Amino acid sequence: MGDLAVKPATENRAAYLQSLIRDVQALERMIKEDRFEKGHQRIGAEQELCMVDAARQPSSLAFSLLPDLPKDFTFEIGQFNLEANLSPYELNNSALKKTEDQLRALLKKLKEVGAPQGIQPIITGILPTIRRHHLDLEHMTPLERFDVLNRGLTELRGGAFEINIHGADELTTSLPSVMYEAANTSWQLHLQLDPRSFSEAYNWAQYIAAPVLAATANSPLLFGRELWHETRIAVFQQSIDTRRSANQIRDRHNRVNFGRGWLEESPVQLFKDNITRFPLILTGDIQEDALQMLDEGRTPNLRALRLHNGTIYSWNRPCYGVGDDEQAHLRLENRYIPAGPTIKDQMANFAFWVGLMKGLPPRYLNLHETVSFQHAKSNFYRAARSSLYASLGWNGKHRPVRRIILEELLPLAAEGLQRCGFTSGQSASYLSIIERRVAGHANGACWTIRNFRNLRERYGAGVAVREVTDAMIQGQEADIPVHEWPDIDAAQIYVFKKETTSIGRVMKTDLYTLNEQEPIGLAKAIMEWKRIRHLPIEDDHGNLKGLVTRTNLEAAAGVDDHEVVSAIMTRELITATQQTTLEEAARLMKQHRIGCMPVEREGQLIGLLTDSDFRVLFGNLW
The runs of H, that is alpha helices, within 440-519 are 444-459, 461-478
How do residues 586-596 score in pLDDT, each as one tens digit?
Answer: 889 989 999 99
Q: What is the dihedral of CA 598, 599, 601, 606, to 10 degrees?
A: -90
Residue 155 predicted with pLDDT over 80: yes
**What per-residue confidence (pLDDT) applies to 619?**
53
564 neighbors 541 (Cβ within 8 angstroms): no
User: Alpha-carbon distance 443 to 383, whole Å?
Assistant: 12
Mean pLDDT for the stretch of residues 453-464: 88
Sign of CA dihedral 400, 403, 406, 408: negative
Residue 459 predicted with pLDDT over 60: yes
What amino acid occupies position 525?
A: A
What amino acid occupies position 561?
A: D
User: Alpha-carbon distance 339 to 218, whole Å?
Assistant: 8
User: Alpha-carbon distance 353 to 581, whole Å?
Assistant: 46
Residue 98 sits at the vertex; the CA angle it makes with 95 and 100, to the nearest 5 degrees, is 110
- Average pLDDT taken over every residue of the chain: 92
The runs of H, that is alpha helices, within 250-372 are 268-277, 290-295, 303-309, 343-358, 367-370
How do residues 465-521 score in pLDDT, each as one tens digit?
Answer: 999 999 999 999 999 999 999 999 887 645 566 667 788 878 888 889 999 999 999
Q: Which of 291-295, 456-460, 588-592, 616-620 has the lowest mean pLDDT?
A: 616-620
Burial annotation 266-282 (CB, 10 A radius, 16+ → b, else e): bbbebbbbbbeebebbb
The percent of residues in the chain predicted with pLDDT above 70, rounded, is 96
Phi/psi for 54 (5° steps) reads: -65, -25
How do residues 538-584 score in pLDDT, each as one tens digit?
Answer: 999 889 999 999 999 999 988 999 999 999 999 999 999 988 998 89
Confidence of residue 2 (pLDDT cuts 50, 70, 90): low
Domain ranges of the chain: 7-439, 503-621
**What per-residue confidence (pLDDT) applies to 4?**
56
Residue 426 predicted with pLDDT over 70: yes
498 neighbors 457 (Cβ within 8 angstroms): no
Confidence of residue 249 (pLDDT cuts 50, 70, 90): very low
Residue 309 predicted with pLDDT over 80: yes
Mean pLDDT for the stretch of residues 597-606: 92
284 vs 190 pLDDT, higher one: 190
Fold of 7-439: Creatine Kinase; Chain A, domain 2 (3.30.590)
Residue 247 predicted with pLDDT over 80: no
**What per-residue confidence (pLDDT) applies to 11?**
85
What amino acid occupies position 432?
A: S
Roughly what angle, to the nearest 10 degrees, separates helices 424-439 and 343-358?
Answer: 110
225 neighbors 278 (Cβ within 8 angstroms): no
Q: Which of 40-54, 249-263, 586-600, 606-620 has the lowest mean pLDDT?
A: 606-620
Residue 1 predicted with pLDDT over 80: no
- The total number of residues shown for the chain amounts to 622
| HSE (side-chain half, CA atoms, 13 Å) at 167 | 29
Domain 503-621 falls under CATH 3.10.580.10: yes
Residue 620 predicted with pLDDT over 60: no
Mean pLDDT for the stretch of residues 337-364: 97
Beta strands in 310-446 (DSSP E): 316-322, 328-334, 391-394, 397-400
**What per-residue confidence (pLDDT) applies to 622?**
47
Q: Report pTM.
A: 0.84
What amino acid occupies position 114?
A: G
**What per-residue confidence (pLDDT) applies to 413?**
98
How do residues 321-336 score in pLDDT, each as one tens digit?
Answer: 999 899 999 999 999 9
Phi/psi for 490 (5° steps) reads: -70, -10
**What per-residue confidence (pLDDT) applies to 52?**
97
573 neighbors 497 (Cβ within 8 angstroms): no
Residue 3 predicted with pLDDT over 80: no
The percent of residues in the chain predicted with pLDDT above 90, rounded, is 80
